[in-house]
Amino acid sequence: MSAPLRQLHVITSLGLGGAERALSRLLTGLNPRAGTAVLSLRDRGAIGADIEALGVPVYTLGVEGSVPSPLAFLRLRGLARDLQPRLLQGWMYHGNLAASLAAGRVRGEPPRVYWNVRQSLADLATEKPVTQLVIRAGARLARMTDGIVYNSRVSARQHEAIGYDASRTILIPNGVDTNRFRPDTERRLAFRRSLGVHDGHLLLGHVARYHPMKGHLNFISAVARVASRLPQIHLVLAGANVDSSNTELCRALDTAGLSRRTSVLGAVTAPEDLYPGLDALCMPSLWGEACPNVVLEGMASAVPCVVADVGDAAEMVGRPELVVAPGDAEGLAKVLVSVLGGSALERHELGNILRARAESEYSLAKMIARYRALYEGGPATGCR
């Protein structure tokens, strides 16, 4: 590249996770052709092509597993030397450390380095051993950054408690595209027709990859209780590895007597077509969430959202009656019965309240403006 790169975003991967999607959405509003590039420590993933379609080059290191090879380190240093970015933005723990390492290969005036922490940290023991080491290393190195972006107040407090420099904290919640995610009667009818359900069914959605932190088994236990009260309930499960090949999931549904009233969709590429068809959405995660995109997408789609009190989820919905303690299947069942057992008008009014909150507090435009202010003016622009 003939001129120094304006921004280099360093991210662990480019799959369909929340951090990856947040980066992709951010790039759409930052004039990405003006000297911006993305470096994935792993591969191009599911959204690498989408980012390149914006005019943003995507580089990869090909890291496999949790520990980079010496060759990957050499390639990281070489790319930093060739691209000469003036600002490095890390994404997620491994991407954050890689951004700081890359900064050491930039000639002349040191580039600005920001980190981006994308999860909460209630218990370090829930992380993989290598990730635990990376998190602890981050606590030691955080003071060498120009700022640490958190998308959650809870996450910021938890990381500060283990040594992350509080003076570097910058809060930028996730943003949702309220034009893409919105209530839509035609989409609602089309989605329900695709599942073969009629108007009398109450559709309850859970959209997340299959992972212990996402609470699928606890959720199924709760819904089994709900079904005894509301026999018209129909589950919609979507996400990576949430499909008929998942024997653990299918066994749990069979045991709970829910198999015949569940649609298992796997990973979906157009979630905006799914949400309008739901009567309620549940985010029953047990740990790890910070500012979950799925909740914002449901809110923007005017769907009542029942959430576990993980990360900033309770603050996001702003309705205590929609919040339950993580892992409390009985409590979750009671809240779901309250929401789904009410009238369609009550759910409609609640959905509209949540959509208005998404528009006013968590819009994509607001998120992009906060990042732009940070990149153009630094932390003193009021993002803290």
Q: Whats the size of the chain, residue-wise?
A: 384
For residues 337 and 281, membership in a common domain is answered with yes
Residue type, 374: L
Please classify residue 3 by burial: count the beta carbons closer than 10 Å to its beta carbon, then call 0-12 exposed, 13-18 middle and 19+ buried. Answer: exposed
Taking the CA of residue 35 as centre, how many other CA atoms within 13 Å lie in the half-sphere pointing to its CB? Answer: 13
Report the C-alpha dihedral over residues 25, 26, 31, 34, rounded to 10 degrees: -120
The pLDDT, as a whole number, for residue 30 is 85
For residues 307 and 318, membership in a common domain is answered with yes
DSSP assignment string, 327-339: T-HHHHHHHHHHH
- Compute the distance between CA of residue 221 and CA of residue 332 in angstroms, rounded to an integer: 10
For residues 52 and 119, membership in a common domain is answered with yes
Per-residue CA distances from 268 to 241, 273, 290 (Å): 11, 9, 22
Nearest one of 365, 285, 290 to 327, comparing CA atoms: 285
Query: Does residue 248 sit within a domain?
Result: yes
Query: Does residue 263 sit within a domain?
Result: yes
The 10s digit of each residue's pLDDT in 131-162 is: 999 999 999 999 999 999 999 999 999 999 99
The pLDDT, as a whole number, for residue 70 is 80
- Compute the distance between CA of residue 303 and CA of residue 159 in angstroms, rounded to an integer: 32
Q: Is 295 left (phi over 0), alpha (psi -120 to 50) or beta?
A: alpha
Structural domain boundaries enclosing 272 = 185-361
- pTM, to two decimals: 0.92
Residue 71 binned pLDDT confidence (cut-offs 50, 70, 90): confident
Per-residue CA distances from 212 to 2, 16, 164 (Å): 47, 18, 26
Query: Does residue 180 sit within a domain?
Result: no
The pLDDT, as a whole number, for residue 177 is 96
For residues 32 and 130, membership in a common domain is answered with yes
Which residues fall within 8 angstroms of residue 372, CB to CB, at 6 or more apart?
Answer: 29, 30
For residues 32 and 164, membership in a common domain is answered with yes
Q: What's the gap between Cα 366 and its chain centre? A: 17
Residue 67: is its pLDDT beyond 50? yes
Residue 2 binned pLDDT confidence (cut-offs 50, 70, 90): very low
Which residues fall within 8 angstroms of residue 137, CB to CB, at 6 or more apart?
Answer: 97
Query: Does residue 1 sit within a domain?
Result: no
Query: Does residue 2 sit within a domain?
Result: no
Picking from 30-44, 126-140, 178-192, 298-312, which range would have the lowest pLDDT averaged per residue?
Answer: 30-44
CATH code, domain with 221:
3.40.50.2000
What is the average per-residue pLDDT within 65-74? Answer: 79
For residues 372 and 355, membership in a common domain is answered with no
For residues 168 and 71, membership in a common domain is answered with yes
Picking from 12-16, 241-245, 352-356, 357-361, which range would have the lowest pLDDT averaged per residue?
Answer: 12-16
For residues 311 and 371, membership in a common domain is answered with no
291: three-class secondary structure by DSSP: coil
For the chain, the domain total comes to 2
For residues 276 and 292, membership in a common domain is answered with yes
- Compute the distance between CA of residue 74 and CA of residue 61 in angstroms, rounded to an integer: 10
The 10s digit of each residue's pLDDT in 332-341 is: 999 999 999 9
What is the average per-residue pLDDT within 275-288? Answer: 98
For residues 147 and 208, membership in a common domain is answered with no
For residues 89 and 115, membership in a common domain is answered with yes
Contact 19, 361 (CB under 8 A): no
For residues 257 and 326, membership in a common domain is answered with yes
